[in-house]
């Protein structure tokens, strides 16, 4: 009978007789347990004697685990499942090597698994097996208790509430991702994010800790700090239900999943994974289809801005552009317009990267540059599909802009976005891309720039009486506007809001392209000339639009100053 390395070392040292070693090994095989468990359980060798024998036989130092500080152990170097299976504890990490406590240094399978999982060299130290088992269980219990503390004992997971991947995971993968505490933790985070009106969830691994943050009303807030040991299983769980490659951890991946939050309410989530130094960072964007159904009044357009926008999108052809930084609500604005235009007699096609809001009745295409489906190629295909309205997620290059403008000139309404600071600078940005001035002047109907400002909580906001008049003047108010007929408000904070703010409101600069502006464009005028002409025609700048909302008590002066430049 071929004995394992541990048994051979005990026999060679005279600690264990050959027949007894064979008998114990046969029992272990029959019970499907480890030889070391059978050895200690039978009393043939004590844990202390075993540790000393292994230390001498393999020239490995002994360690007293009673003297180990649990808080100083490196976190997340080796997954809990491997530590539990082979009874291992990682004691330290230095450069590209780790020190691992074991009772059986002869276990080559364990050594190879550690090297493969960590890509690090292994230095063994010997510990008494009973103390080692106790420490492994303590560390695992600490992780489970931490998750239970975050989730709460009353939280029940409903497997039917998450739409699973159509490809069923293998048994091995299922064991990795169907860990009940991980499943409950992820379910709770998704539901909490939805109920707290978060737009994004960030799962972020670091060297010694792990954190979960929600973006609520535009600000990131730390919500939970689960044990770092869960990072691999949590990433695997998210990947499986969003149909990503669970084995690929070296490159970014994108996917989607759904969560049922009521009998008739389903929320879409967009998943993005990113390899970082200490694991995969995962960002989950909440895509609520009902956001496109809010209606234009809920977005915060003033009556005159709303009428200009509606007039532009109801024209039979031309281009309407929405500009602003990432996260300024451009997509919701575009989809609100599409929802208004979405009628049975109209053919609407959209090209996005990726499509964020599902709108029935609209033909939505996801751009896939790897497969050759770019914005430009999608636009070319749309023009052969008898379209009435085309929406392009973003105009990024001259080719896309050229096709979009030709579509706008040949009887189609084109909606799109650009990344510029305000409406006037959008026209010079298009000129810089290489678009001819006469094409811009003849195709663009309207440009709207936007920002999102936090909305003051109606329940706890109070007048900002100690705000000096000079601060209002510096912000951009005219002296005649500070007449005492209105008061600015400031945030306070209550149980119903987030530090005095609840929800967000749009700040808009809505600029129709008039004949006077077309003349400026045709002669190659600057953004400053266009801005002066827009001001002369009564178009409010972003700052002026924000200050108007301060006068109405919708938001605070600090918030407007923070999200607009002047």
Model confidence pLDDT, tens digit, residues 360-382? 899 999 888 888 898 899 999 99
User: Averaged over 204-221, what is the pLDDT?
Assistant: 89
Query: Which region among 85-94, 178-187, 420-429 has the lowest average model confidence (pLDDT)?
Result: 178-187
**Nearest to 336, CA basis, from 291, 303, 305:** 291
Residue 219 has pLDDT above 80, yes or no: yes
Nearest to 368 by CA among 351, 385, 344: 351
Residue 456 to residue 242: CA distance in whole angstroms:
36
Please give the structure tokens belonging to residue 257.
Answer: 């999943």
What's the DSSP call for residue 336?
Answer: H
Rounded distance between C-alpha atoms, residue 204 and residue 225, angstroms: 10
**7 pLDDT band (50/70/90 cuts)?**
confident
Among residues 285, 188, 272, 179, the alpha carbon closest in space to that of 229 is found at: 179
Strand order across the 413-418 sheet: 363-366, 348-352, 389-392, 413-418, 318-323, 444-456, 501-512
What would the two tokens of residue 283 be? 């960002």
Residue among 69, 209, 205, 87 nearest 140 (CA): 87
The secondary structure element, H or E, covering residue 100 is: strand 97-102
How many other CB atoms sit within 10 Å of the CB of residue 468?
Answer: 8
326-356 as b/e: b if 16+ CB within 10 A = eebbbbbbbbbbbbebbeeeeebbbbbbbbb
- Say how far residue 349 (Cα) sits from the centre of its chain: 27
pLDDT of residue 331: 86
Closest C-alpha among 369, 350, 352, 368 to residue 360: 350
Distances (CA, A) of 154 to 143, 147, 157, 193, 274: 18, 13, 10, 18, 33
The helix/strand/coil state of 508 is strand
Residue 414 pairs with which residues in a beta bridge?
319, 390
Nearest to residue 183, comparing CAs of 214, 151, 138?
A: 151
- 282-299: string of b/e by CB count within 10 Å (b at 16+)? bbbbbbbbebbeeebeeb
**CA dihedral of residues 79, 82, 88, 91 (deg, nearest 10):** -20
- Residue 170, token pair as written in the block: 């293998």
If pLDDT is split at 50, 70 and 90, which confidence band does 310 have?
Answer: very high
* Cα(317)–Cα(320) distance, integer angstroms: 10
Q: What is the pLDDT of residue 39?
A: 82
Inter-residue contact 504 to 455 (CB < 8 Å): yes
Q: Among 419, 268, 239, 296, which residue's Cα sits nearest to residue 354?
A: 268
Q: Which helix (H) or strand (E) holds 389?
A: strand 389-392
CA 29 vs CA 1, 43, 129, 297, 344: distances in Å: 12, 18, 20, 73, 71
Determine the 3-state secondary structure of 82 from DSSP: helix
Rounded Cα gap, residues 255 and 147, in angstroms: 25
CA 159, 160, 164, 168 dihedral sign is positive
Coil/strand/helix, residue 204: strand
Sorting pLDDT into bands at 50, 70 and 90, what band is 319?
Answer: very high
Contact 485, 463 (CB under 8 A): no
Residues with Cβ within 8 Å of residue 560, at least 6 apart in sequence: 453, 475, 507, 543, 546, 547, 549, 550
Name the residue with higher pLDDT: 463 or 148.
Answer: 463
DSSP reduced 3-state for 494: coil
Q: Report the alpha-carbon distance of residue 344 to residue 443 in Å, rounded.
A: 26
Minimum mean pLDDT among 12-16, 396-400, 475-479, 513-517: which range?
Answer: 12-16
CA distances (Å), origin 502, targets 349, 454, 544: 34, 7, 22
Percent of the chain predicted with pLDDT > 70: 91
- Of 78-87, 270-279, 506-515, which range is least confident? 78-87
CB 463 within 8 A of CB 487: yes
User: Mean pLDDT over residues 96-118, rounded?
Assistant: 86
Q: What is the pLDDT of residues 233-255, one digit of tens each?
A: 899 999 998 889 998 999 999 88
Give the residue-averaged pLDDT of 200-228: 89
Span of 71-85, 379-393, 409-423 with lowest mean pLDDT: 71-85
Q: What is the pLDDT of residue 293?
A: 66
- Average pLDDT of the segment spanning 270-288: 91
Q: Which positions ≥6 away from 69 have C-beta within 8 Å?
A: none
Task: Classify 434 in phi/psi space as left (phi over 0), alpha (psi -120 to 50) or beta.
Answer: left
* pLDDT surpassing 70 at residue 205: yes
Buried b (16+ CB within 10 A) or exposed e, 418-453: bebbbbbbbbbbbbebebebebbbbbbbbbbbbbbb
pLDDT at 417: 92
- Of 166 and 201, the one with more pLDDT: 201
3-state secondary structure of 503: strand
What is the average pLDDT score of the chain?
85
DSSP state of 391: E
**What b/e readout covers 132-170, taking b as 16+ CB neighbours within 10 angstroms?**
bbebbeebbeebbebbeebbeeeeebeeeebeebeeebe
Q: How many Cβ atoms from other residues are within 10 Å of residue 250's Cβ?
A: 7
Give me the residue label for tokens 């920002």. Answer: 451
């Amino acid at each position: 009978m071929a004995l394992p390395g541990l048994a051979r070392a005990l026999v060679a040292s005279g600690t264990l007789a050959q027949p007894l070693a064979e008998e114990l090994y046969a029992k272990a095989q029959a019970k499907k347990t480890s030889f070391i468990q059978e050895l200690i359980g039978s009393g043939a060798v004590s844990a202390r004697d075993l540790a000393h024998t292994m230390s001498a036989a393999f020239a490995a130092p002994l360690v007293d685990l009673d003297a180990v500080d649990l808080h100083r152990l490196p976190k997340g170097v080796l997954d809990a499942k491997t530590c539990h299976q082979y009874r291992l504890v990682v004691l330290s990490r230095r450069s590209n090597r780790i020190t691992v406590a074991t009772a059986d240094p002869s276990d080559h399978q364990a050594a190879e698994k550690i090297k493969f999982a960590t890509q690090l060299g292994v230095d063994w130290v010997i510990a008494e097996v009973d103390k080692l088992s106790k420490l492994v269980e303590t560390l695992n219990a600490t992780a489970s208790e931490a998750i239970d503390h975050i989730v709460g004992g009353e939280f029940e997971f409903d497997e039917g509430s998450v739409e699973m991947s159509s490809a069923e995971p293998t048994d091995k993968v299922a064991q990795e991702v169907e860990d009940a505490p991980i499943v409950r933790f992820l379910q709770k985070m998704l539901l909490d994010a939805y109920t707290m009106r978060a737009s994004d969830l960030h799962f972020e691994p670091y060297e010694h800790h792990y954190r979960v943050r929600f973006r609520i009303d535009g600000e990131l807030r730390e919500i939970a700090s689960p044990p770092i040991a869960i990072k691999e299983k949590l990433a695997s769980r998210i990947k499986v239900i969003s149909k990503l490659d669970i084995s690929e951890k070296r490159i970014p991946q994108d996917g989607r999943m759904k969560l049922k939050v009521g009998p008739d309410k389903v929320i879409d989530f967009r998943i993005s994974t990113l390899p970082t130094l200490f694991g995969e960072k995962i960002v989950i964007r909440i895509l609520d289809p009902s956001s496109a159904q809010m209606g234009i009044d809920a977005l915060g357009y003033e009556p005159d801005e709303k009428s200009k926008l509606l007039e532009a999108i109801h024209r039979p052809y031309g281009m309407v552009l929405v500009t602003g930084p990432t996260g300024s609500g451009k997509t919701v604005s575009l989809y609100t317009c599409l929802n208004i235009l979405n009628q049975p007699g109209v053919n609407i096609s959209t090209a996005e990267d990726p499509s964020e809001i599902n709108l029935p009745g609209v033909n939505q295409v996801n751009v896939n540059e790897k497969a050759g489906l770019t914005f430009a190629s999608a636009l070319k295909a749309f023009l052969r599909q008898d379209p009435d309205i085309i929406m392009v997620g973003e105009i990024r290059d001259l080719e896309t802009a050229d096709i979009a403008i030709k579509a706008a000139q040949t009887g189609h309404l084109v909606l799109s976005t650009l990344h510029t600071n305000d409406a006037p600078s959008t026209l010079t940005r298009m000129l810089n891309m290489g678009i001819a001035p006469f094409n811009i002047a003849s195709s663009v109907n309207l440009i709207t720039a936007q920002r999102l400002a936090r909305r003051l909580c109606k329940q706890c906001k109070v007048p900002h009486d100690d705000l000096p008049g000079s601060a209002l003047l510096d912000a951009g108010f005219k002296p005649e506007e500070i007449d005492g007929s209105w008061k600015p408000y400031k945030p306070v904070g209550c149980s119903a809001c987030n530090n005095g703010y609840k929800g967000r409101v749009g700040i808009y600069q809505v600029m129709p392209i008039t004949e006077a502006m077309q003349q400026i464009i045709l002669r190659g005028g600057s953004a400053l000339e266009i801005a002066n002409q827009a001001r002369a025609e009564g178009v409010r700048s972003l700052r002026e639009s924000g200050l108007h909302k301060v006068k109405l008590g919708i938001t605070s002066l600090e918030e407007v100053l923070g999200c607009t430049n002047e």
